[in-house]
């Protein structure tokens, strides 16, 4: 059986489903396939909070609207948990439990007893403590169950004409900080502003990792020259509130703080 047919079968057995939606490639593909299979028996919920860059939140809302699916947003206080606030190595587990609990509660209020996430088969091979929390709460993962890898999802999303098929992966702003450091809304804001400035300059997929008053910037190696020549951008980043600006010579690496 083709993976897409398997996914259709998995979604049909649920009859009604709520998608925990981030606007990323995985959850957008799942949402649009679910809408195709289950029509009006699909909703999505977006969790908003300081951990999510405003640009990412706005994109998620815009994409949810384009899908035609009824969407809802909930506000989540990630600083409620000490493990997140102090950036413990298992912070993702506690944060995901906090966020998914809020999504499940809202879904129940809406009459949707099944909540699904965008976990795929590639996620099983990397450090994803949040996935364990979601599983414990009973969140289902149709893409994982159907055997979809990230590459499978991108290819299928492209065939569907989804604009997110080649969208760069993003992550919670907490991933920009070393473990066991105090996380604050102020520092989240600084990192978000710096990354947005880089994005607006035409360099995409950058990460600004904060080490005290040092901003360690990761961009793709092919963007090194463009970044280093853009003195106005470097000045703008420094004025956000960093004492030193450094460029990581290894380039962008997802999960480099793990």
Count of CB atoms situated within 10 Å of the CB of 204: 13
Name the token pair of 24.
């990323």
pLDDT digits (tens, 9 = 90+) for 35-46: 999 999 999 999
pLDDT of residue 132: 84
| For the chain, percent of residues with pLDDT exceeding 70 | 98
Task: Specify whether the CB–CB gap between 84 and 95 falls below 8 A.
Answer: yes
pLDDT digits (tens, 9 = 90+) for 127-186: 677 788 888 999 999 999 999 999 999 999 999 999 999 998 888 999 999 999 999 999
Residues in the chain: 258
pLDDT digits (tens, 9 = 90+) for 71-92: 999 999 999 999 999 999 999 9
Task: Specify whether the CB–CB gap between 154 and 8 falls below 8 A.
Answer: no
Long-range Cβ contacts of 181-187 (<8 Å, 24+ apart): 181/86, 181/87, 182/85, 182/86, 182/87, 183/79, 183/84, 183/85, 183/86, 183/87, 185/50, 185/79
Euclidean distance between CA atoms 221 and 26, whole angstroms? 26
How much is the average pLDDT of 53-70?
A: 96
Count of CB atoms situated within 10 Å of the CB of 21: 28
Please say if the pLDDT value at position 27 is more than 90: yes
In the structure, what pLDDT confidence band is assigned to residue 16 with cuts at 50, 70 and 90? Answer: very high
| H/E element, 33 | helix 25-38
Strand positions, DSSP E, 36-145: 42-48, 70-75, 115-116
Euclidean distance between CA atoms 233 and 246, whole angstroms? 13
Please say if the pLDDT value at position 18 is more than 90: yes
Give per-residue burial for 147-179: e unless 16+ CB within 10 Å, then b.
Answer: ebbeebbbebbeeeebebbebeebbbbbbbbee
Task: Kindly report the average pLDDT of the chain as a whole number.
Answer: 94
Residue 3 CA from chain centroid, whole number: 24
């Amino acid at each position: 059986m083709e993976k897409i047919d398997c996914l259709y079968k998995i979604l049909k057995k649920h009859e009604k489903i709520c998608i925990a939606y981030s606007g990323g490639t995985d959850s957008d593909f799942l949402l649009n396939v679910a809408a195709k299979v289950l029509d009006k028996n699909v909703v999505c919920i977006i969790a908003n909070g300081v951990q999510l860059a405003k640009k990412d939140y706005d994109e998620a809302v815009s994409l949810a609207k384009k899908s035609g699916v009824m969407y809802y947003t909930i506000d989540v206080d990630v600083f409620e948990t000490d493990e997140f606030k102090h950036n413990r190595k298992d912070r993702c587990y506690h944060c995901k439990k906090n966020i998914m609990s809020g999504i499940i509660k809202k879904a129940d209020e809406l009459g949707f007893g099944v909540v699904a996430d965008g976990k795929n088969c590639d996620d099983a091979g990397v450090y994803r403590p949040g996935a364990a929390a979601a599983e414990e709460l009973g969140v289902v993962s149709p893409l994982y169950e159907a055997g979809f890898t990230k590459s499978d999802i991108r290819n299928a999303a492209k065939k569907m004409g989804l604009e997110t098929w080649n969208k760069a992966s993003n992550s919670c702003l907490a991933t920009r900080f070393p473990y066991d450091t105090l996380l604050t809304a102020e520092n989240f804001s600084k990192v978000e502003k710096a990354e947005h400035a880089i994005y607006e300059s035409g360099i995409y997929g950058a990460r600004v990792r904060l080490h005290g008053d040092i901003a360690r910037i990761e961009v793709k190696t092919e963007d090194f020259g463009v970044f280093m020549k853009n003195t106005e951008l470097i000045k703008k980043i420094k004025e956000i509130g960093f004492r030193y600006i450094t460029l990581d010579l290894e380039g962008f690496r997802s999960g480099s703080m793990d």
